């Protein structure tokens, strides 16, 4: 200890080596995350290709899909600035969420371990929500608070009863999923289709600091 303190150069080298090892240890999980994601994605693809049963749905039969694009922004005042980066959204059929993510034989298993859809990440301000006052109706209330039903109820409320979607109309949600237990979702778009899948109604959900603004426009 005395010899180490008497040699500042050796002490500095020891500190640098310690910091390097600490940074290396802390960075290992972040280096492994892409590898883990790719591995789970490959297993999911191979599982559905080789081991899916004849009764299960094939990829082509799902309405849900992945939309890939790019977001760009530029300004000239007060300081010239611009950026452009890739972006992707999940376009989910709410009727397919259970079979894709949550069933025992979920189509996206094991990728759904790190990539999941949670209803709690949407309509966080309680829009279209029914609150039960008695325990005997809790189960019924939980069913009535399904996200699909809440969207129907919300549109009816926002249009003052002038438009009420039917239970047969499909709802598609353009949104971000929860990744590794965290969901960053600035905006979600709900689309309600007629039987022939022509646009019937459009709902936008903004989530800015957990404050959601919902707007409905009838076409």
pLDDT (tens digit per residue) in 1-44: 445 455 667 777 778 788 888 888 888 878 888 899 999 999 99
Q: Which residues contact 112 (CB under 8 A, 6 or more apart)?
A: 100, 101, 102, 106
What's the pLDDT score for residue 134?
Answer: 42
Cis preceding-peptide flag for 110 (omega within 30 of 0): yes
Can you tell me the distance from the alpha carbon of 47 to that of 109, in angstroms, rounded to the nearest whole number? Answer: 9
Model confidence at 219: pLDDT above 80:
no
Residues 97/117, Cβ–Cβ less than 8 Å: yes
Can you tell me the distance from the alpha carbon of 59 to that of 65, in angstroms, rounded to the nearest whole number? Answer: 9
CA distances from residue 219 to 92, 125, 129, 198, 202 in whole angstroms, order as listed: 21, 26, 25, 10, 8
The percent of the chain in helix, strand and coil, each rounded to the nearest 5, is: 40, 25, 35
Q: Give the mean model confidence (pLDDT) for residues 192-207.
A: 62
Model confidence at 106: pLDDT above 80:
yes
Residues 172/199, Cβ–Cβ less than 8 Å: no
Model confidence at 209: pLDDT above 80:
no
CB hemisphere CA count around 115 (13 angstroms): 21
Task: List the chain domain ranges.
Answer: 13-48, 64-130+145-195
CA pseudo-torsion sign 127, 138, 94, 176: positive
Q: Rounded mean pLDDT of the chain?
A: 79
In this predicted model, which residue has the larger pLDDT, 148 or 132? 148
Residues 43/110, Cβ–Cβ less than 8 Å: yes
């Amino acid at each position: 200890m005395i010899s180490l303190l008497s040699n500042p150069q050796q002490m500095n080298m020891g500190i640098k080596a310690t910091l390097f090892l600490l940074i290396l240890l802390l960075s290992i999980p972040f280096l492994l995350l892409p590898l883990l994601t790719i591995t789970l994605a490959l297993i999911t693809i191979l599982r559905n290709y080789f081991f899916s049963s004849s009764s299960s749905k094939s990829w082509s039969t799902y309405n849900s899909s992945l939309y890939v694009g790019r977001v760009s922004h530029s300004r000239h005042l007060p300081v010239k600035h611009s950026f452009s980066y890739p972006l992707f959204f999940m376009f989910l059929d709410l009727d397919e969420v259970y079979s894709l993510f949550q069933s025992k034989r979920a189509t996206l298993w094991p990728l759904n371990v790190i990539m999941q859809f949670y209803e709690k990440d949407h309509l966080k301000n309680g829009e279209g929500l029914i609150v039960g006052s008695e325990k005997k109706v809790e189960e019924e209330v939980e069913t009535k608070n399904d996200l699909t039903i809440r969207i129907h109820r919300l549109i009816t409320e926002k249009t003052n009863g002038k438009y009420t979607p039917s239970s047969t109309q499909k709802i598609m949600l353009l949104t971000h999923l929860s990744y590794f237990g965290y969901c960053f979702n600035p905006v979600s778009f709900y689309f309600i289709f007629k039987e022939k899948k022509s646009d019937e109604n459009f709902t936008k959900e903004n989530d800015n600091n957990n404050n959601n603004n919902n707007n409905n426009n009838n076409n």
